[in-house]
Structure 1
Amino acid sequence: MKLYAISDLHLRHTDNRQALQALPAHPDDWLIVAGDVGETLAEMELMLRTLTERFRQVIWVPGNHELWTMPSEQPPLRGEARYQRLVSLCRSYGALTPEDPYPRWPGEGPPRILVPMFLGYDYSFRPDHVPENKALEWAWEEDLLCTDEVLLHPEPYLSRSAWCAARVESTLARLQALPPDCSTILINHYPLRYEHVRLPRIPRFSIWCGTKRTEDWHLRFRAEVVVSGHLHMPATLWRDGVRFEEVSLGYPMQWKHRGMSLERGLREILPGPAVRPL
């Protein structure tokens, strides 16, 4: 029995949909889908219908793309209402979400709890010399503007930062209540640490990539592995003896350039590598 993870399926693209359909069954294994499935409820349902038939258990956390309010969808759902609609859709297929009780890993090994999270971002992934109220201006200097600024609405919160703050606080309360004898697998669409936002071509896009409030969560909450996506730069990184897995598939030109397929893009989280780096 294994735990796999993948993110950024971006099913708007035909090649990605075909790759999803070609994925073989893993009837004994669990799968984490770490956000950015697509932009529409139909794409979300395609993922759920396909993957819940091929894996024993699917766990989903939202990316930014799922939370976009698309003009083509009626009635339009914004902010928290859209998120709750996605949660409801997942539950109708038996997939777990950040709103469900955190499951214990049923496979071999020490006690572990899988922690799917929805945290968002607050523009704090930026250099110290850039003030908070200048973060967007700093990105605009490099002609960067995330589509979230147009399509990702935070209602009923006043801002995306306020939504992020609320999500961080509610998640903290749940994490602090976990039994101390269990390690965790922390799962979030965005990286938990600023240093892991490796975007050499567009470094100022970092402001849409997470929150510094989570910088020490891998230590505070006994993480064995931290799973994230969003960057479209799959990699295994280590910090403080903790394994960080960026599990993005990405757009067709990206995964094809890497010689990947969706099957090859599945990242093994558990049991994972037997040897840790020194």
Structure 2
Amino acid sequence: MRVFALSDLHIDYDLNKQWIAQLSTDDYRDDVLILAGDVSDSLLLLEWCLKTLASRFKKVLYVPGNHDLWVIRDGPDRQSLDKFQQICTLVENCGASMQAFHRGSLSIIPLLGWYDYSFGQPSTEIFATWADYHACRWPEHFSAHDITAHFVQLNEPLFSNLNQTVISFSHFLPRIDLMPAYIPLEKRTLYPILGTHLLEKQVRQLASTIHVYGHSHVNRSVKIEGISYINNAFGYPRETHIAAKQLLCIYET
């Protein structure tokens, strides 16, 4: 059994959707796919993607990204927490899973999250331009800290009965030093909305061997303090310089 990692498919773009449709129907029958968020804000497209991948892999493990929780196209009364609950049901109905996966000596643990500005305070420009601030809708009293705490708390029941080797995955970054040094200063204004230190605490609590993340669209594999952190984002069609646009095998039993 092989474990593959992928994130940020953004299949609203036809080119990305075609790549999924053209994946082999035979090569991955005994394998697991970690899908670390940002498939589409369309439930119909998300359903198509998960069903397509579930028909190709032995198991598809998924967490939603920020784009998946957008409700801007779903009507003025739609709430992102309600959509999250709908996604949870949809995922299971598609043959995929948002639950812990245990097989032999391996456990794969999905970690929900958001961003809480523990990587820095967003600029006025980010508050004005970052799509999540108008495309998601949260309860009126919810701050970014509340959103993050809500999702991170949902991870805690998955931390028991772990096998010897643990792979964890999240859409959001657990630590900001996963961003490479070559990122231009003008792009670093996005750092505050990339993730949360709370995820890193959970990754360390799990004693993960590997942690897969997405969101940044910057493919990278780096080992920090004994844990291998891997981002294999597919990204937007134009992002050929930072995204490999292929499956990446991260583990094999």
Instruction: Indicate whether the TM-score tops 0.5.
Output: yes
What corresponds to 1:204 in structure 2?
189
Partner of 2:155, secondary structure, is helix
Shift in Å at residue 258 of structure 1? 6.1
Aligned residues: 248
**CA contact under 8 A between 2:219 and 2:244: conserved in structure 1?**
no
**CA contact under 8 A between 2:63 and 2:110: conserved in structure 1?**
yes
What corresponds to 2:81 in structure 1?
80
**CA contact under 8 A between 1:157 and 1:163: conserved in structure 2?**
no
**CA contact under 8 A between 1:183 and 1:221: conserved in structure 2?**
no
Cα deviations by residue, 1:116-136 (Å, 9 ceiling, x for unpaired): 11111112112xxxxxxxx23
Cα RMSD (Å): 2.3
Gaps of 5+ in 2: none
What corresponds to 2:234 in structure 1?
249
Amino acid at match of 2:148: C
Distance 1:151 1:122 in 2: 17
Cα deviations by residue, 1:197-247 (Å, 9 ceiling, x for unpaired): 344341021111111223344333210100001111111111112111011
What corresponds to 2:93 in structure 1?
92
Shift in Å at residue 40 of structure 1? 0.7
Distance 1:61 1:270 in 2: 19
- Percent identity of paired positions between Structure 1 and Structure 2: 27
Amino acid at match of 1:104: H
Partner of 2:239, secondary structure, is helix
What corresponds to 2:43 in structure 1?
41
Distance 1:28 1:185 in 2: 18
Amino acid at match of 2:194: C
**CA contact under 8 A between 2:78 and 2:137: conserved in structure 1?**
no
Distance 1:163 1:259 in 2: 29
Is 1:3 the counterpart of 2:3? The answer is yes
Is 1:167 the counterpart of 2:165? The answer is no
Q: When the two structures are superposed, what TM-score results if normalisation uses the length of structure 1?
A: 0.81
**CA contact under 8 A between 2:171 and 2:215: conserved in structure 1?**
yes
Is 1:189 the counterpart of 2:171? The answer is yes
Shift in Å at residue 178 of structure 1? 3.9
Amino acid at match of 2:4: Y
Distance 1:222 1:3 in 2: 18
What corresponds to 1:148 in structure 2?
132
Is 1:116 the counterpart of 2:117? The answer is no
Distance 1:94 1:142 in 2: 37
**CA contact under 8 A between 1:67 and 1:152: conserved in structure 2?**
yes
Distance 2:200 2:171 in 1: 15
**CA contact under 8 A between 2:110 and 2:169: conserved in structure 1?**
yes
**CA contact under 8 A between 1:190 and 1:230: conserved in structure 2?**
yes
Structure showing greater Rg: 1
Gaps of 5+ in 1: 127-134, 273-278
What corresponds to 1:53 in structure 2?
55
What corresponds to 1:232 in structure 2?
217
